[in-house]
Structure 1
């Protein structure tokens, strides 16, 4: 969408407001203060403009969040050919996770948005292309895309919730440790070291491996 700047640029200075700068400023405010503190008014204050000026580019905050999600997807693409389909798919999922982790509350911003920009559509195209070329049906490839995206977003939501500032939240591993007694919950007690491990990468890799293994089993009939 092309919209005139809200202020006449002075010689040698860029315009104070445009769509790309608004998104970048919103991401900076997100990283500084988190999603709950990101309002159109606070964003306008940070950019030195009137709040109403932002609505020339984004009709609602949801529109802004969608643009932010699309910006996060820049550079999220499939690796060059050569690797096995399952590894290429796994790399895509890992890259998506890293893109969301690169921004505070990134998964919360991304969840529920439906961008039709080149970053988001390119990711979907790469993912479905990998699967179709591997022999999956169109329907299975589409559902596999949704499974990969939903798993990655859900996992990263939990991961970033655990990292959110403010001790004493349910994500605090000490809360779980104090609630679990060996006599009443012997199995949970045995699993506590893993359940309270703050390194989420192994948890993600385990779930991703399960997903890919299931897809490998689903793919077999198409190659008999």
Structure 2
């Protein structure tokens, strides 16, 4: 049985949702998502935990508030180039934002919170997609798909590859060890793992992210009316990916 929500004390006059979000961000940066609690956030702003219930009724509501605060300083890509250029820059900027803030991907993944900052980003992104020629339904799905891809990729990127990385080995060391293990497998039983050992373990995360993001754009381009579709072919896209630093 769920514990009842504590009765709130009188609200602290200086406590605002904006100040609460800022305090939650500081706790998240210091202690991570696992260490985030109503009690710690209350202590950060100098009030009793019960006082927070005038502003957020549960930790889940605190996470909603935090989700919007995490994207408050997001910079929208310039409106220049093709829809594809802008779509790719959106994905890159979102990944950079999530990587820059501790456990940000864990907080935002799967959440749809209509805070002011998220609303502004969604409005801008949907406007670009609709202006490019996507139908309303396809624009909405494209926005969701990109968000899910970036969040999921960053979660993978920030998770240890194995116990060895969790114990202190670098990601590169773990990947190279995996490649060595694949190469020494019996080729008659694992011919593909042996043949693709380098391809499976050599690419860095930047290369992997660009590959996936560009393939999303490839698929979305097929949804555009012929007169709106870019004439940038798949071969050129591969060259563009290789040329990107």
TM bracket, shorter-chain basis:
0.7 to 0.9
CA drift at 1:174: 7.2
CA distance in 2, matches of 1:95, 1:5: 41
CA distance in 2, matches of 1:142, 1:102: 27
Per the normalisation by structure 2, the TM-score is: 0.74
- Alignment equivalent of 1:208, drawn from 209, 213, 232: 213
Whether the 8 Å CA contact 2:12–2:47 is kept in 1: the answer is no
CA distance in 1, matches of 2:213, 2:116: 25
Flag structure 1 segments of 5+ consecutive residues without an equivalent: 9-14
Which residue does the alignment assign to 2:108?
Answer: 110
After TM superposition, the structure 1 = structure 2 runs for residues 136-147 of structure 1, keeping only pairs within 5 Å, are 136-147=134-145
CA drift at 1:61: 1.0
CA RMSD, aligned part only? 3.0
CA shift in 2, pair 1:190/1:220, >3 Å:
farther
2:115 is the counterpart of 1:123: no
Which residue does the alignment assign to 2:132?
Answer: 134
Flag structure 2 segments of 5+ consecutive residues without an equivalent: 1-8, 230-245
- Alignment equivalent of 2:29, drawn from 28, 31, 42: 31
CA shift in 2, pair 1:6/1:70, >3 Å:
same
2:170 is the counterpart of 1:167: no
Q: Which moved more, 1:148-157 or 1:67-76?
A: 67-76
CA distance in 2, matches of 1:214, 1:86: 11
Runs of 4+ in structure 1 deviating by more than 2 angstroms, as ranges, are: 4-8, 42-49, 75-82, 165-169, 171-182, 184-199, 220-224
CA shift in 2, pair 1:174/1:118, >3 Å:
same
CA distance in 2, matches of 1:168, 1:150: 29
CA distance in 2, matches of 1:63, 1:79: 29
Per the normalisation by structure 1, the TM-score is: 0.80
Which residue does the alignment assign to 1:85?
Answer: 83
CA shift in 2, pair 1:35/1:127, >3 Å:
same
After TM superposition, the structure 1 = structure 2 runs for residues 94-109 of structure 1, keeping only pairs within 5 Å, are 94-109=92-107
CA drift at 1:5: 8.3
CA distance in 1, matches of 2:76, 2:203: 28
Which residue does the alignment assign to 1:11?
Answer: none
Which residue does the alignment assign to 1:12?
Answer: none
2:17 is the counterpart of 1:19: yes
Which deviations, in whole Å up to 9, do the C-alpha atoms of 1:93-134 show, x marking residues without a partner?
111112211211111100122211222122222222111111
CA shift in 2, pair 1:105/1:135, >3 Å:
same
CA drift at 1:175: 7.8
Q: Which moved more, 1:39-48 or 1:199-208?
A: 39-48
